[in-house]
Every structure is written in C-alpha cells, then in structure tokens.
Structure 1
Amino acid sequence: MNERLKLLRKALKLNQLEFAEKIQIGRSTLAGYENGLTNITDRSIRDICRVFYVNEDWLRTGEGNMFRARNTTNEELALQVGKLLKTDDEFTKNLFLEYLKLPPEMKTLFEDFVHNLAKSK
C-alpha cells in the first residue's frame, strides 16, 4: 500500500507536505506511510479516499482504478447541505435560503456576480 500511496501523491502532483496537509496529518507521518515504516491507519485511508476521490479497493489491494467517479451534482449538493446543517454557520445557511427565495431574474444576476468574482481570483 505504501507504494500505491506514493504513486497516488505523484499522480496528484503534490509534494509530501501538500498531500499531508490536505488529509490533516504531519509530513513525517506521510513519509512513514510511504516508506513502509508506519502502517497506514484506517482513518488516513478513509480521509485519502474522501479527499482525493480514491478507490479504497485500489489503495488497499491494487485492484481496480486508482480513482472513483466523482459525485453527481445532486450527490454533491446533498453532501454539502448535510455538512452545512451540522454546523453553526448561520451566514451560509441564510445566504443559501435567501438565494433559493430569489425570483429567476435575480438568480441570474447573482450567478453572474459569482462567476465574475471567481474569475477575479
């Protein structure tokens, strides 16, 4: 599994620090995993699969494709709304609710604003 982990990180074009930060472990922990000095924890496996859309069977056994299919828009929306409901982020909850209440022409204006905002990054 350590070799597949290293292969995955390189496929994602991430260094050890970048990869480790995304799954919230230390770089030295990741290095231990990749070098086979430390067994990869089940929690790290779950985090790797969740964050990078990795096929868990591939990571554990080498069977199948490296990546699993990304969620459909509906699946991703359900996942994000579920996460939002579990937070105390009242601003985002209210923003979402107010957007849904907008008439279609106002939604179009808001969408244009968001797209222009994203382009300005």
Structure 2
Amino acid sequence: MENRVKHLRKVLNLSQKDFGDVLGLRPNTISSIETGKNTLTEQNIKMICGAFQINENWLRNGTGEMYRKPPEIDELTRVVNEIVKSEDVFAKRFLIAYWNLSKENRTVISDFIDKLANNK
C-alpha cells in the first residue's frame, strides 16, 4: 500500500508536506508511510480516499481504477449500456439527435425534461 501512496502523491504532483497538509499529517509521517515504517490507519485510508476521490480497493489492494467514478457517471454508463442493448429505436435516435443539437437547443430540451420530471 505504501507504494500506492507514493505513486498517488507523485501523480498529484504534491510534495510530502503538501500531501500531508491536505490530510492533516506531518511530512515525516508521510515519509514513514511511503517507506513502510508506518502503516496507514483506517482513518488515513478514509481521508486519502475522500480528499483525492481515490478508489479504496485500489489504495488497499491495487485493484480497480485509481480514481472513483462519481455516482452520476456510473448511472449514466448503466443507462447508456441498457439503451444500446435494447431494441428501443426511439431512445437511440433521441440520444443521437440531442447530442447533435446546438448548445442553446440542448438547454431548451434540458429545461423541458426538468419540467416533466418535476411533474411526475
């Protein structure tokens, strides 16, 4: 896990001091974690994952993507995959047509959808 902490810090282009400042830890504590002298506490793991949007499985085990996907991205991916696999021709046409609209026209459609959703 210490290698992943150091890798993350390097990817973020942060010094041990700057990385520690975000987490409320001293630079020598970060150094001790990165060299394996100290292990990460549960609280440290939660703080790193929360502060930098890191996937906890990646930090703990090295599995999965380094960064967490925002929940709305997961939902969007799920819905788009369902539409692609479905036989709903209208939904496919609608998505393509919407994406090809000008920004102004997308705003009109977006406002309309918001009004529909609020009048369930």
User: TM over 0.5: same fold?
Assistant: yes
CA distance in 2, matches of 1:40, 1:12: 19
Aligned 1:9-88 pairs, distance under 5 A: 9-70=9-70
Count residues in correspondence. Answer: 72
CA distance in 2, matches of 1:65, 1:29: 26
Q: Which has the larger radius of gyration?
A: 2
State the TM-score, normalizing by the size of structure 1.
0.57
Q: Runs of at least 4 residues of structure 1 off by over 4 A?
A: none
- RMSD over aligned CA atoms reads 1.0
Structure 1 residue 70: deviation in Å?
Answer: 3.4
CA distance in 2, matches of 1:6, 1:25: 14
Query: What amino acid does structure 2 have at the position aligned with 1:61?
Result: N
Q: Percent identity?
A: 38
Could you list the per-position Cα deviations for residues 84-109 of structure 1 after superposition, in whole angstroms to 9, with x for gaps in the alignment? xxxxxxxxxxxxxxxxxxxxxxxxxx
State the TM-score, normalizing by the size of structure 2.
0.58
Query: What amino acid does structure 2 have at the position aligned with 1:23?
Result: L
CA distance in 1, matches of 2:69, 2:14: 20
1:83 equivalent in structure 2: none
Structure 1 residue 69: deviation in Å?
Answer: 1.6
